[in-house]
Amino acid sequence: MMASQPETLIAEILKRRPLVGLGEIHWCPQVMSAITTLMESPALEGTFDDIVVEFGSVRHQAWLDRYISGEDMDETGLAAVWQDTLYFLLWSPPVYADFFRRLRAVNLQRPVERRIRVVLAEPAIDWETLDNEAFMRWHEQREMAYAERIEQEVLVHERRAILIFGLRHLTYQALPGARHAPLGKHLIKRHPGIIELIHPYHEEKGVFSNDKRPVDAGHNGLMIPAASESSDGPAMIDHIWHLGVLTRRIALPDALFADTTWLATVVARLQQLGEEHLMRARRMMSAPQHAILDAWLAHHERSIRAGSKM
């Protein structure tokens, strides 16, 4: 079985396709860190123009364009890029903010014509009016919205891009139990042969290629072909990236609970969306974090009652 260095394989793919999909594993910072390091590689300089990411709202595209291009500006607007997204808690781990910072640093070392643009894929949503029903509508429409964004920002302009999205978005067919076609399927349906998909191997998450071969330590850091087909049907991806043993742990960072301004916004949003979202958020928290959240919720309720008496 042929194994390739990641930079070599991606450069080869971009000679024959305008898009490469790199699967990311949420709550597994090793993967996002490895992806960011790969994007920094001098070996990939000039092989692609854009990186399209799931973890950012298009509302902040103009600001991010200035920031990533290396313009001298205040970094205070960076948090809003991921905080204004539908799944705002998902992007709380620092690896996502670090991605933007590190890509900016790369661009500062490159000539203007070789600088990378980062395209934010999530449509702008209005948190002032969002309720659970609207939340679900956005959730159900997001795969098609991602595909349209890639068409408008990359393909129409005949640019080349690397897509960084969660594994479940970057498959050629819908996974069992999924209600909607994934981004990968939308793209190849509209533009056959336009992309190749790469997933990091993870024992828990699988690779969605019907390929459950044990990890070969000799392949660590390398990419290998995925199975082309199996008894369950055609392959869901093209390549597997072995990154060694990956640890996945769902846990919100303590820094979120130390930022009182952002925490107040989080509490207000969760209450606005309803109990189901609040319970889902609780499952991401440690016992001390639960205590902080409960204190904020109690304070919020007291404020509402006090306001109703005025």
Same domain, 290 and 147: no
| Domains: count for the chain | 2
Q: Is residue 10 part of a domain?
A: yes
3-state secondary structure the chain: CCCECHHHHHHHHHHHCCEEEEEECCCCHHHHHHHHHHHCCHHHCCCCCEEEEEEEEHHHHHHHHHHHCCCCCCHHHHHHHHHCCCCHHHHCCCHHHHHHHHHHHHHHCCCHHHCCEEEEEECCCCCCCCCHHHHHHHHHHHHHHHHHHHHHHHHCCCCCEEEEEEHHHCCCCCCCCCCCCCHHHHHHHHCCCCEEEEEECCCCCCCCCCCCCCCCHHHCCCEEECCCEECCEECCCCEEECCCCCCCCCCCCHHHHHCHHHHHHHHHHHHHHCHHHHHHHHCCCCHHHHHHHHHHHHHHHHHHHHHHHC
Q: What is the pLDDT of residue 234?
A: 66
Q: What is the pLDDT of residue 231?
A: 45
Q: Is residue 27 part of a domain?
A: yes
Q: What is the pLDDT of residue 272?
A: 92
pTM summary value: 0.93
Same domain, 201 and 298: no
User: Residue 76 is part of a domain; what is its CATH number?
Assistant: 3.40.50
Same domain, 152 and 288: no
Q: Is residue 212 part of a domain?
A: yes
Q: What is the pLDDT of residue 239?
A: 93
Regions in the chain scoring below 50 on pLDDT = 209-210, 230-231
Q: What is the pLDDT of residue 275?
A: 94
Q: What is the pLDDT of residue 114?
A: 93
Q: What is the pLDDT of residue 1?
A: 60
Question: What is the tens place of the pLDDT at every residue in 35-92?
Answer: 999 999 999 999 999 999 999 999 999 999 999 999 999 898 999 999 999 999 999 9
Question: What is the tens place of the pLDDT at every residue in 212-233?
Answer: 555 555 567 899 888 765 445 5
Domain end position, chosen among 194, 217, 241:
241
Same domain, 210 and 292: no
